[in-house]
Amino acid sequence: MGVIGAVIGGVTNALAIRMLFRPHNALYIGSWRIPFTPGLIPKRKSELARQIGKIVDEHLLTPESIEKKLKEPELRGEIEAVLQSEAKKWIRSNMTIADILQKVHFPNAVTQMEERLNGWIDQKYAVIKDFYIDQTVKESLPAEWLDKAEEKIPDISAYILTKGTDYFSSEEGRYRIKRMTDDFLAGWGKFGSMIQTVVGNTSLADKIRPEIIKFLTSPGTKDLLDTMLKNEWDKVIEWKWTDVLEQLSDEKAIQKAKKFIGGQLDLETVLNEPVSAYAAPFEQKIKDTLIPELTDKGITKMAKRIPSMMGKLKIADIVRQQIEAFSTERLEMIVLAITHRELKMITLLGALLGGLIGILQAVIMMAFPV
């Protein structure tokens, strides 16, 4: 009886386990559905998927658990190591910026960037013009700029006088004075000839030139020119931009701005330099400071955004959809792969209990024969 009980117990448990998965579909006799078909798991597949998704979302893959993982020193170290490796490649790369832009589907970078720059200048010119059109130069420019410009007036006058002195001291200056005096005397006819006779054999130009140089090097001349330039500067800064722009058409102003800014930027040279030309001098700073800071800030920002990101991802729905997409056979294989040993032990336990019950029944029957 013990053997019979063991067989019954083992078979019963094995059948119960089997009924968890089989049959996969409902079975019918005519229109009558056979009870316990389909098996428990196929029948409750949608509910199982929903509950597993809920458990994963609420208890396993939570924002807190992901944030904790992101902040682990090991993961941070791995992220920083990857960034250091990639940065090293770029820092020592011989690729030009134009090559990089070409790879990201931005061909003819110089032409396109110049076009965009010119478009930006056109737009900004219109905005600036509308804003400053009724203001004076003094009102629109920073005070420190105006002060610095005014401080340069003595330097400008000194430069003008120095260049004038150098010019009139040269042979070209001497020739120019001679030609001017000759033209002047010729224009006066006989009176000019009379002046030349009074002067004598010495050229009038040779008498005038030292006086011009003396005048240019005189401190009084420097003071006079400083005053004149200062007076003119005071007038200029009181001009309204409307007066300035009257002397220069919008088209000319824009073209000058484009030429100046384009020349300063020199996009063609910049874009055709290798990346290493710009990055190599900062390699140590990038490795020691920039990348660690970027890693920390990146992890911090990512951690802050995890709740909203996970809310948008809807982890529970993803898990539910994936489980529902499994075939019943695959789901059975997954469960059996995880619980095979435990289910086998349950079957053996059923056989053991059945055998014990059979032995106990035999003992009772022998002790109390009918």
Residue-wise pLDDT tens digits, 281-316: 888 888 888 888 888 888 888 888 888 888 888 888
pLDDT of residue 213: 86
pLDDT of residue 201: 40
Tell how far CA 320 is from the center of its chain.
37
pLDDT of residue 340: 75
User: What is the rounded CA–CA span in Å between residue 308 and residue 317?
Assistant: 16
Parallel, antiparallel or unpaired: strands 28-29 and 32-33: antiparallel
User: What is the rounded CA–CA span in Å between residue 212 and residue 170?
Assistant: 13
pLDDT of residue 199: 53
| Number of Cβ within a 10 Å radius of residue 103 | 10
Q: Distances from the Cα of 180 to the Cαs of 205, 214, 229, in angstroms?
A: 8, 19, 27
Residues 92-117 have pLDDT tens digits of: 878 887 787 777 777 777 788 888 88
- The answer to whether 239 and 136 have CB atoms below 8 angstroms apart is yes
Banded model confidence at residue 156, pLDDT cuts 50, 70, 90: very high
pLDDT of residue 231: 92
